Every structure is written in structure tokens, then in C-alpha cells.
Amino acid sequence: MKITFSQAVSTGPVRLFQLTVVTMVLLVLVLDGMDAQALGLVVPSIIAEWGVDRAEFGTSLTASLLGAGIGALLGGWLGDRFGRVTMLFASALFFGATTMASSQADTIETLAALRLLGGLGFGAAGPNGVALASEWTPERFRTHVIALLSVGTPGGGTIAAGIAPFLLDDFGWRGLFLIFGGASILIGFLALLLVRETPSWLLAKGREDAANRTARRIFGQEIELLPEPDGIIGTTGAEGTRVGLFHRDHTRLTAGVAIAFSACTAIVYGLTLWGVVLFTSRGFTQDQAIGVIFWAGLMSVAGALAGGPVVRILGSRRTMAACSAITFAAVVILFLMVEHLSAAPDGATLAAVYVLAGIMGGVASLGISTIYTMMALGYPVSCRSTGIGLGMLLGRIGGIAMALSGGYLLNWGGTSVLPFFGVMAACALAVSSSTWIIDRHIAPAREQ
């Protein structure tokens, strides 16, 4: 039987191997988030041991973000060339090893260098894992799986925050680094043993025999795979010209993703990183402000998980347009509520702020989840990991920019929070513009 790999995956039942792929990728991304969050969780313990000022850790924390941004693009590029499974294993091995090495650091400079190197692994895991799992997943479940994977890394950070106090009590900060890093290496080896490269990637590399052997082993029937047409220009044959990420055919998708991803991430980072400072300056107690941000974080996870079913129902264009409009409205209303507050809010005001902050975090994260899906389905096999990596890099840049500028925006406004909320509102509107730039939207399930 002659069939493309994507058709074979989508027409047959879900097999144990496919569930294993998704599970292993999710575990790698969860450990990725745990390792990435580790330093932020142990800073107080290191300060107590070394007697240094907390401001000195800014370089170490920023180094991890910088490394992750570079690693997302570089790791995606390497994954498209040498294999997603290979790079998924290499990234887990690399960030696990650097996390374990961090346990032996005795200076802030050493920590910063190790976190920069570890960031390369943190960033490389995402694009390769998402590309690999999405290709092994049937079309009817693909948006749900991508939405699930999009919360793997932040979910890992949440898990790390939950278990860190117990590990610190028993093993100290050095022990926490060893445990997190060792677990990452173990999961990386399991992924290498249990996961296989997709036949579509093997075909794109001209390895037809290996692709057919893998397909026959997994699907249990005689299959002769046809090339995936989306990775070829001008022909559906195996000898066509491969499409690179920066080919003109991808210009609108890449530009739209760049705008939307960076804008959505800026909104989420702005709210979660500067929300406590913002709300306490308007009369909230610290506990009230932390409660608002915690709730927004929970809604961010819920919004990301909702991305799969929402895109199936509405399609990506309507989903992104709705995310833009709803987030913009929430930003404007929240600004109007807190602009003139100068004392602790009453119960009704506090409840309204909870709702609005939750909408901002949840809907912006729904947008991020949708962007992941558009990247995974919009780029061809030949540059899928690179495309996802570029999107993640740009998303991190937007978040870092907001993290660095949030304090200046709050100071710039003096007694007003207009500059801060003005930038957030502009980001929400930018998401709307991206929906018209992107030319590869996902149609609602009923129209497919």
C-alpha cells in the first residue's frame, strides 16, 4: 500500500508507541522546566551560604534565558539536520549535566557560565520535542497534544517550586541540582531507547529504506511511504528542492509568528514578573498581589491546555483574533480599575482584579498554544524544528524585553500606570495584526 506517513498516522488507531512518544517528550519538557527553574528557587539558600547580595544573581538568571533563546533556534536547526530524537536526547543530557555541574559551583561567575550553557539545552528541547510528537500524532489529536506539550516546561517549573522546599530541607541546594540534573539525564536515555525518528523526517533525508522499515514495524503492515508534499517545491517526487525556513514561501508565516509569539509572551511575562510590584504600588498588600499573580499563573496553564479544543472548534484565525480582542479589553478594564487606586481594594475590586488578571494570563497563553500549533503544522518537515525554534527564540525575546523594561515603564508613568498598560494593550493589538499576516491558518475541524 502506497501512502504518506501523515496519512498512515491519521487513518489508523492510536498505538502504544505513539503514546510513548508523547509521554517521553512531555517528561523531557517537564524536566527541562524543573532544571531551568532550579536556580531561581535556590538563590536564598546560596545567598545564606555565600553571603552575597541578591542583585548579583541577575547575570546568572538572565544567562539562562539568553542561552535558552539561542538554544531554541540552534537546537531546532540541528534537529532538522541530524534528527529530532538525537537532539532531544542531546538536549536532556546537556541541560542535565550542566545542572549537576552547577552543584559544584563556588562563585557566581561559574554559576552564570553553567546556566548559559544549560540554557542551550533548555531551549533545544522544546522545538525538537514538539516537532517529533506532532508528527507521530494523528491529525485529530494533534492540536490537543501540542497544547499539552506547550505547558510541559512551565508545568515543570511549577512542580519544581512545589517540591523544592522538601529537597532543600533534606539535601540542600547542591543536592537539589544533583537530583534534578540526574533525573533529566535518566529521562534523556529512556527517550533515546524508546522513541524513534519519524519516517517523514527519514524520507526528507533520502533514507527511504529506513523510513519504510520504521513504518512497517510501527503500523504492522506492508507500507510503501510516499514523500510528504509539503516539504517539496515544484514536485511531489523525492528529488524536489527542499524548502528552507527563510524561503519566500514561509515569509508570512514566520513574520506573523514572530509578532504574535513575542507579543503574547510579553503580556504573560509583564503580568507575572511585574504584577506584584504593580499591584502593591496601588495599595494591594503583598499577599493580595501574590494571590492575583498566582491565579493568573494557574489560568495561564488552563488557557494553554484549552488551545487544542478551541482551535479544533474555531480554527486558528478566529482563535487568535478572539485572543487579541479579549486580552485588549481585559488590559484596558484592568488599567481603568487600578489607575486611581491608592488604598487596599475592597472585596469586589479584588475579585474583579482576580478575574481580569486571570483572563489576561489565560487568554494570552491560549494564544501561545495556538501559535505552537500553527508552527508545528505550518512548517514542512524539512525545517519544522528550526521554525518552532525560531518562534520560541522570538517569544523569549519579547518576554525578556518586557522583563527588562517593566520597571522603567512603571517609573516612567510616575503616579500613573498608563505606560505599562499601554505597552500591554499595544501587544494585544499586535496579535490581531498577525492573524492577517499569517497565510497558513488551521481550519476548524468541521471544515477539514
Is the CB of residue 102 less than 8 Å from the CB of residue 111?
yes
Task: Give pLDDT, residue 54.
Answer: 65
The confidence band for 120, taking pLDDT boundaries of 50, 70 and 90, is very high
pLDDT at 244 over 70: no
pLDDT at 191 over 90: yes
Is the CB of residue 119 less than 8 Å from the CB of residue 66?
yes
How far is it, in rounded angstroms, from Cα 310 to Cα 143?
A: 9
pLDDT at 240 over 70: no
pLDDT tens-place string over residues 415-433? 889 999 999 999 999 999 9
Return all residues near 98 (Cβ < 8 A) that are at least 6 apart: 114, 115, 117, 118, 121, 181
**CATH number of this structure's domain 248-447:** 1.20.1250.20
How far is it, in rounded angstroms, from Cα 58 to Cα 63?
A: 8
pLDDT at 237 over 50: no
Return all residues near 148 (Cβ < 8 A) that are at least 6 apart: 22, 26, 305, 308
pLDDT at 215 over 50: yes
Task: Give pLDDT, residue 163.
Answer: 85
How far is it, in rounded angstroms, from Cα 448 to Cα 443?
A: 6
Range among 52-56, 228-232, 290-294, 368-372 rated most confident: 368-372
Task: Give me the residue spans of the domains in the chain.
Answer: 2-201, 248-447
What fold does the segment set 2-201 form as a domain?
Answer: Growth Hormone; Chain: A; (1.20.1250)
Task: Give pLDDT, residue 150.
Answer: 83
pLDDT at 243 over 70: no
How far is it, in rounded angstroms, from Cα 340 to Cα 400?
A: 28
Q: How far is CA 362 from the centre of its chain?
A: 14
The confidence band for 260, taking pLDDT boundaries of 50, 70 and 90, is very high
Mean pLDDT in residue range 270-288: 82
Mean pLDDT in residue range 225-234: 54
